[in-house]
Amino acid sequence: MTAQPSDNLAAWLRKAMDEHEGALLRYAERILGDADRGRDVVQDTFLRLLESGGGFDGGRLAQWLFTVCRNRCLDVCRKERRMTLMSEHVERTCAGSDLPPDDVASGREQAGRVSAAMSALPPNQQEVLRLRFQNGFSYKQIAGITGLSVTNVGFLIHTGIQRLRKRFQVDGHGGRQGETR
Amino acid sequence: MKLSKDNPLLTAYALGELDAGEAAEVEEAILADESPRAEVEAIRGLAGELEGELLAEPMPHLSALERVRLEQLAAALDRAAAGRAWHSRRRLRWAAVAAALLAAGAVGMWALLRPGTPSEHNIVIVPIPTPTPPSPGPHPRLMPTPSPYGPAPVGTPTPYAGRNDFFEPWHPSVGSALLSDSGQSAPSTRSIQDDEHVDNPWVSAARRLGSTFGLNVGAASYRYIRQVIDEESRLPEPSAVRIEEMINYFQYDYAPPAEGQGPLAVRADLAQCPWSAGHVLLRVAVQAGVGQAETGADQIVACDARVVVTFNPDAVASWRLIGFDGAMADQAGQGEQIAAGRQATALYELVPASKAAQGGGAGLAAACAVLVEYKLPEGDGVRLITVSPGGPAVRFEEAPEDFRFAATVAGFGMILRNSPHKGTCTVAGMLRQAQSSLGEDQLGRRSGFAEMLRQPTVSWPEEE
């Protein structure tokens, strides 16, 4: 990813979409619990990118896109919660916390055993775990995206991993001793 | 340093998140004690497994059409900024971008407005590039229409043969999102009988750039109106009057698509509004070509067809879709099949922005753009037609006959609906207008309309 779009904004945008649209769609759908609204938010995110004029290096671009995407998702949740208190659908998908329960967004996915167990974690832990292990962001980048402190991100990831380990009783060599409940 | 199992530093170390100094401290602790070392390995084991699973999750994609829209906006921005330094196009505001694109002749605009996104930012505008004219000079679409009966300005379809996963259903609520923003001025509550009787309200173009309407409109409402007026000598219930069904009951002499131009011809015209001084009417007309086969059944010439009209907020202060009121708006914008020979007409009433209003709406040539997307029944990808008005608003008397007749039907519909927007419309005035725009009227439908307006036994609404 070039730092700047130079003379060809269209090619630059195409490349940014190639690299990031999938991850952003996955992220937005999980926050909103709805693929269609996730698509809207992701398109809007790329629009904002065009509007911003670019000027990011590769890592910063990803962080920028996720930050904008997340803010747009939360705007959507806030607005829908405010506007349609009567709408059960919105209450189901957006209410309560920043993130919906994992199974709302991914019930149809073929989840692995650890990621399936992850759905029992609080939404904020799920989010930082995904940002770290699915999107490869550092603690610092995750802090930038979520507005949390780096310490807070470290704590959430640590706690999330500890809880998953308890679930699986993973031993010191990465082996498994079976799932416990 | 003694590290407990519960210290987040251990996890950070295991994941390589510590700087050299911190990492060295943790390593020292690990060397001194076996328990944190096993802990680090366990963390890495689980993290590795989690990472593997998360990376294997299916990766969604934007549809090819969604990507095309964004790329075309970027391409149009490239063109708009050509010759200027990069920094000068930074931080462009979207309204300014939209206006610049329209002014530059990049007429295709896409406004995709969804519920749930904050109002000032929820606008997706994607211009569809138009072919560059072979020679310099004024953009052909911005030149005045040579004659009211001149050829329809037909946009060039742009086949997109990319991924074939883009025929997704339009968001079901897009119609209402387009047409019922909470920020609009409240519709008049005068003589409301039910939801369908609430006329679409005025919409600020700065708040909502885009609108859509259905292409397959029935005519049941018009037939009902004729029946009760002609046979029962009474006025229909206002809520039974659907202006779009009245307008689309009639045949119009729209030019079919030219050979090799695809199955649909689209045109857009502007004329001064006959019932509200200073307002302008936009007519959008779609004409499907005639199919080859004569099997008796309707031959489908286009699928997944949708129309979007976008308004330039620099030229249009506010707009109003005439007809398609209430629940109808919810269906608008869904992909529709278009049968051979099908026509669709929609009228918008526009309030010009103050600077565009100078010279009787002459500044309105860049008022709007119409985008029609469809695919061929054979399914070779989405095609896009973009059209903008062929010139500034003409005086109503100089507008094409079909345009005048459709506006007359709309005016009569507003009278029957007792619409707050009917302005100076009177039955006598509509009769005069109808008689001067009968055209060839091969089916006799227009003269039937005029006859209905002359019904002596009906007590017409009192005129103000």
Average pLDDT, integer, range B266-279: 94
CA distance A103 to A95: 15
Q: Best residue in A27, A39, A140 to probe B by mutation, most B CBs within 10 Å?
A: A39
With beta carbons under 8 A apart, name residues in chain A contacting B43.
Answer: 161, 165
Q: Count CB neighbours of B428 within 10 A.
A: 11
Phi, psi for B330 (deg, rounded to 5):
-70, -25
The pLDDT of residue B158 is above 80:
no
What is the pLDDT, as a whole number, of residue B282?
Answer: 96
Nearest-Cα residue of chain A relative to residue B46: A174
pLDDT in tens, B53-71: 999 998 998 887 778 777 7
Q: Is A138 helix (H, G, I), strand (E, B) or coil?
A: coil
Is there a contact between B223 and B307 (Cβ–Cβ < 8 Å)? no
The pLDDT of residue B376 is above 50:
yes
The pLDDT of residue A80 is above 60:
yes
ipTM here: 0.81
Task: Give the lowest-confidence range in A88-92, B98-102, B165-169, B202-206.
Answer: B165-169
The pLDDT of residue B178 is above 70:
no
Is there a contact between B214 and B324 (Cβ–Cβ < 8 Å)? yes
Verify whether the Cβ–Cβ distance B50 to A118 is below 8 Å. yes
The shortest CB-CB distance from B74 to any of A13, A25, A155 is to A13
With beta carbons under 8 A apart, name residues in chain A contacting B71.
Answer: 10, 13-14
The shortest CB-CB distance from A26 to any of B38, B56, B59 is to B59
pTM: 0.50
pLDDT in tens, B39-50: 898 899 999 999
Give the pLDDT band of residue B209 (cuts 50, 70, 90).
low
Q: Which residues contact B206 (CB under 8 A, 6 or more apart)?
A: B95, B313
Q: Are strands B210-212 and B111-112 parallel, antiparallel or unpaired?
A: unpaired
pLDDT in tens, B299-313: 899 988 888 887 877
Average pLDDT, integer, range B226-234: 93
Write the secondary structure of B433-463 as one string of H (helix), E (strand) and C (coil): HHHCCCCCCCCCHHHHHHHHHCCCCCCCCCC
Give the pLDDT band of residue B100 (cuts 50, 70, 90).
very low
Q: Which residues contact B112 (CB under 8 A, 6 or more apart)?
A: A40, A43, B69, B123, B124, B126, B174, B210, B308
User: Looking at CA atoms only, how far is residue A62 from chain B in angstroms?
Assistant: 16
What is the pLDDT, as a whole number, of residue B223?
Answer: 94
Verify whether the Cβ–Cβ distance B47 to A161 is below 8 Å. yes
What is the pLDDT, as a whole number, of residue A177?
Answer: 45
Is there a contact between B130 and B106 (Cβ–Cβ < 8 Å)? yes
What is the pLDDT, as a whole number, of residue B52?
Answer: 93
Q: Does A164 touch chain B (CB under 8 A)?
A: yes
What is the pLDDT, as a whole number, of residue B182?
Answer: 32
Q: Which range, B60-69, B166-175, B284-293, has the best average confidence (pLDDT)?
A: B284-293
Q: Does A24 touch chain B (CB under 8 A)?
A: no
pLDDT in tens, B341-373: 999 999 999 999 876 555 555 556 667 888 888
